[in-house]
Structures are given as C-alpha cells and as structure tokens.
Amino acid sequence: MTQTVQDSAKKRVMIKTFGCQMNAYDSQRMTEIFESLGYESTAEMGQADVILLNTCHIREKAAEKVYSELGRIKLIQDARRASGRDTIIGVAGCVAQAEGGEIFKRAKMVDMVFGPQTYHRLPQFLAEVKRRREADITGPGRGVLDVDFPEEYKFDNLPKAQAAGVSAFVSIQEGCDKFCHFCVVPYTRGAEYSRTVAEVLDETKTLLDQGVKEITLLGQNVNAYHGATKDGEWSLGRLCYALAELEGLERIRYTTSHPRDVDQDLINAHRDLPQLMPYLHLPIQSGSDRMLKAMNRRHTAAEYMVLIEAFRKARPDMAFSSDFIVGYPGETDEDHQASLQLIRDVHYAQAYSFKYSPRPGTPAANLECKLPEEVKDQRLYEIQALLKEQQIAFNESCVGKTMPVLFEKPGRHQGQVVGRSPYLQAVHFFGDLEQIGQIHDVKIQGATGNSLGGEVVG
C-alpha cells in the first residue's frame, strides 16, 4: 500500500549548482530534462528523490566543497531510507569530469557521475541506476559513469529552453583552447566549439516568446565564438548585430571574454547597438607581463589597456570588471605592484580576485611556489581593498544619475522592487510589481558597496 502511494506521488529532483554561469545554464537545462521525465523541482533536499550536484573544479576549495556536501547528503539519504524512501545521488559538472570514477571511491553512496558534455544522456543514466538497483548490484560496478566527449551533439538532444525569469542565459560557445597554465577548464570542458548562429537565434526567440527581455550569451571563451551559417562563420560581434534585430530583446550581455579574442566587430557592436550593455567582464589575471607570460595568457598589460581604451572610445559610458590571481608561482612584489597599478589605471566597476590554487593536471601544478602563505594573504588583501574602493567609488558615481533599470523581482519589503542597472548593479526602489519584466528610468539616490537605491521617474 505504501508503495502505491509513493509511486503515484510526483517524483522530485533537487539540483545544487556550484561554479560559473555555464553551470547555472546547464543546471537549468538538466531541470528541463527532469521535467520531461515527470519530475518537479524542490529546494528541499530531504524531499528529493534525486539529488544532483553540478560541480566546479576551478580551485581546490570549490572541488572540496562537493565532498563536504556529499557528507551531508549521505545523512539525508540514510534518514530517507529509514522511512522507506530511496534517493538517487548524482555528481555532474567539472569535478565529475576531472575525477571520474574516483568519486565513487571517496563517496560510496554516489550513484552516477557524468561530465558537462554528457548530460543530455541523463534519462539513460537514471534508467541504468534503477536497473542496477533492481539487479541488486553493489560494490564497484554499482555506479554509472560517463565522462565522454561524445560524438552526438548535446544540444540536439535537449528539450527546448524554458525561461525562469526576465533574464536568461544562452550558451553559445563551450570549452577552451587557450590552456592558461593554471586552469582546468580546457580539461573539464574540452575543446572549444561554437553553436551555429541559427541555433542561437532559435533558442533566443524561444526565450523571448516566454517574456525574456535580457539574454547573457555564455561561453568559457565567449568572444572566440565563430558560429557557422550557410554563408561562413560569424564572430560574436556579428551575432550581436543579428540578435539586436530580434523583436522584444532589450538587453544583450556576454561572458567570459578573453583579451586575445576581442576584435573590431565587437568594439563596433558596442558603439552601434544600444541593446548591448556597456559593461564588460574582461579578465586579465595579472598586471605584470612576466606573470602573464608565465601564465600563458598570450597578451601583455599594455595590449589589454589598448582594448580598454578602444571600448571606452566606442562607448564612453563603458565600465569593466575582471579577475585577478595573486600568488602565482614566481610572483614578486614588483609583479604584485604592477597588478595594483593596472587596477588604478583601469578603474574597475567591480572585479574578482583569487589566491592561486594549484590544480592537478595543469602545467602550473608542477611549479614550485616558495611564497609564504602570509605574503599571498597580504597581496590578496591589498588587491581586494583596492578593488572594493573602486567598486564603492563606481557605485557612488551613479548617485544623481537616471538609469534604465530592468525590473526583475519583488524586494524584501512590501512594495519594493529589485532591478538591474546596465552595469549589473542591483537597484532597490518602491515600484509597481506589475511592471516586473519592464525597463523604466530610475533616479539613483543612494549607493552602498553592493547595490543602489532610487526612485522610479519614467
């Protein structure tokens, strides 16, 4: 009897996402696959019949988080089992790709491990887990593993994209051929490839039909995009011109770009297209040419500054963000000072900075690093303090201005709405909840380190 009740109840899935926006996009697509199989999403792990971690391998801390999370999940699985409920546990994403079957050894209750290029096969993985359960297979043969870079095309095998709000991601490029010496992405995501222009336009139109107003084009190296059309390949810049023609698309963003792949088309697109937001995440990693060379970034700090100036010339209200790595093997105080100087020269609107983390399998993992931890901590502190100062200064420079704000969702207080400025700042104001999904002018009246406040004026 209990069995029947349980079978007739809706199955639930919980996907927990770590890492970058590409993982967020992939999790959304996996949610859609689960929906096509009759699952509904839950935010409560204890309610989930399938728990899936979509993981990140970029730094050691990110990868280790997965195992502490699995420890917690084990307790949930045990508790559910005690009340007669089964839980299937999966590890997807970049840790899955990098560690493969090792995951089953460290976390024995994991049922399936699969990489970022195989998730369209999820229905097969689930069926196989169930088959092995029924056949009572235990021990090493129990887990389902797939870390292929398959021949068949992932995107041909996914359900149509579904919008989850007014802003959506569209993956246009995946993988990376740059092989920066510190980075796992070329190994976890594989070789660089671009989706065709027709596919990108099609997915964007599907999202626009569902009320989406803003899309963020995603790729590990998004401006290396070279999408096929029947008349040859298109660059990211050219794609943006075509997207800007689509009815209803009000904002276009793209991330993450590599300085080496910025071309004139892209700069011109910023000059010509009001839909293309004047905000660019352009990671440099270090302001020292010596470090850039050691990292295999294949550009100099001066070349980067030329790009910044070119974007600013094309679009004077352009603002920038970046990523920095401190404490890379061999980094001297002079190199560190060069990073601080570059930050002073650019004036970022915001930026991320990380302590270098050696990653297995990357060329830098074998380099000896003699820097004491305290020195790395001190350098990280200095970079973060300067970046924070610039972020506050940027936010304060917005006070008194009127900005177009995309109304995104209700705020915490009654009558409050939260929206996004062109620079991705969260903007809080009192407004009409009926206007969610629309863009209106907001006069900015206050700024904190992380957000803006204002009043709707148009």
Which residue of 268, 357, 397, 451 would you call a contact of ligand SAH, by CB under 6 A? 357
The answer to whether residues 97 and 148 touch, using CB atoms and an 8 Å cutoff, is no
Query: Two tokens at 274?
Result: 């009001």
User: Could you say whether residue 321 binds ligand SF4 (CB under 6 A)?
Assistant: no
φ/ψ of 53, rounded to 5, equals: -100, 125
Contact 135, 100 (CB under 8 A): no
Residue 265 CA to residue 275 CA, distance in Å, equals 15
Residue 56 in contact with ligand F3S, rule: CB under 6 A? yes
Window 198-217: residues binding ligand F3S (CB under 6 A):
none
Euclidean distance between CA atoms 334 and 336, whole angstroms: 5
**Per CB under 6 A, does 58 bind ligand F3S?**
yes
What tokens appear for 24 in the block? 């967020």
The listed partner (ligand SF4, ligand SAH, ligand F3S, none) that binds 325, CB under 5 to 8 Å by sort, is ligand SAH
Closer residue to ligand F3S in complex, CB, 77/220: 220
C-alpha to C-alpha distances, 244 to 248, 253, 274, 299, 395, nearest whole angstrom: 9, 11, 9, 30, 28
Candidate list 185, 197, 252, 280; residue touching ligand SF4; CB under 6 A: 185
Residue of 78, 81, 124, 179 that binds ligand SF4 (CB under 6 A): 179
Q: Choose from ligand SF4, ligand F3S, ligand SAH, none: what does 179 bind? Cβ within 5-8 Å by kind.
A: ligand SF4
Start-to-end Cα distance in the chain: 60
440 binds, options ligand SF4, ligand F3S, ligand SAH, none, Cβ within 5 to 8 A by partner type: none
Asked if 109 and 90 count as a contact pair (C-beta separation under 8 A), the reply is no
CA angle 384, 65, 83 (to 5 degrees): 145
- For residue 64, the minimal CB distance to ligand SF4 (Å) is 20
Q: How far apart are CA 338 and CA 294, in angstroms?
A: 15
Minimum distance of ligand F3S from residue 95's CB (angstroms): 8
Near ligand SAH by CB under 6 A: residue from 185, 207, 249, 269: 185
List the beta bridge partners of residue 171: 218
39 forms part of the interface with ligand SAH (CB under 6 A): no
CB of 266 to ligand SAH, least distance (A): 15
DSSP alpha helices (H): ranges in 37-164?
60-82, 93-99, 102-106, 122-134
Contact status: 58 vs ligand SAH (CB under 6 A) = yes
Site string for ligand SAH, 336-355 (x = CB under 6 A): ------------------x-
Place of tokens 């943006």: 240
* Sheet of 214-218, strand order: 167-171, 214-218, 251-255
State the residue for tokens 């209700």.
Answer: 410
- In angstroms, give the least distance from the CB of 173 to ligand F3S: 12
Kindly list the residues in this chain that would bind ligand F3S in the complex (CB under 6 A).
Answer: 19-20, 22-23, 56-58, 93-94, 184-185, 188-189, 220
Kindly list the residues in this chain that would bind ligand SAH in the complex (CB under 6 A).
Answer: 58-59, 182-183, 185, 220-221, 256, 258, 283, 285, 323, 325, 354, 356-357, 359
